[in-house]
Amino acid sequence: MPGYRGHIFIALLFCGLLYLFPFWMPLPLPGKIACVAICVFFGLWPDVDTKSKGQSIFLVLFFAANVLLIYRQDYQRAAYLGLLIVLPLCSRHRGWTHSITAMILIPGALYLAFVHYSNTTPTDLFPYFLAALLGYGSHLAADRIW
């Protein structure tokens, strides 16, 4: 079982697959950096269901996001975020967060939400969605091999 450093390394290897897609070269540097960060983020995400370095990172990020939402008096989104945070903590390790269904649904739902709430086209955000899929897939592949 690879630790968080192993998952980061494998996510970075999978992220290299983005070079194979035609959208990669014209993507500006901040976009490329964001893709790598998203890939690593989703490379760590599935282990949010167990005591791990990834869980610590995600809980701090979710806590900060929830505090920001409450500060902005966006209580409905804060409540939904709080509900979503609890879900992985209620399941067993390598449960639903380690499924291919979750690999598609979680990045897919975020992709659709960003497409809906931003002024960009689905094509503009597709590299980030693909980076999320590659990161998530890297985690599932690593856990199945080790």
Binding site for Zn ion (CB under 5 A): 46-47, 143
Q: How far is CA 136 from CA 13, 46, 119, 132, 141, in A?
A: 12, 7, 26, 6, 9
Choice between 46 and 127, CB closer to Zn ion:
46
For residues 122 and 23, is the Cβ–Cβ distance under 8 A?
A: no
Structure tokens at 59: 């809980």
**Residue closer to Zn ion (CB basis): 15 or 78:** 15
| Cα–Cα distance for residue pair 68/106, rounded to 1 Å | 22
Q: Smallest distance, Å, CB 140 to Zn ion?
A: 8
Nearest approach in angstroms of CB 55 to Zn ion is: 11
Minimum CB–partner distance for residue 47 and Zn ion (Å): 4
Nearer Cβ to Zn ion (47/107): 47
- Give least dist CB 22 to Zn ion, A: 32
What whole-number distance in Å separates Cα of residue 82 and Cα of residue 71? 15
- DSSP assignment of 84-95 equals HHHHHHTS-TTS
In the bound state with Zn ion, the residue whose beta carbon lies nearer, of 3 and 122, is 3
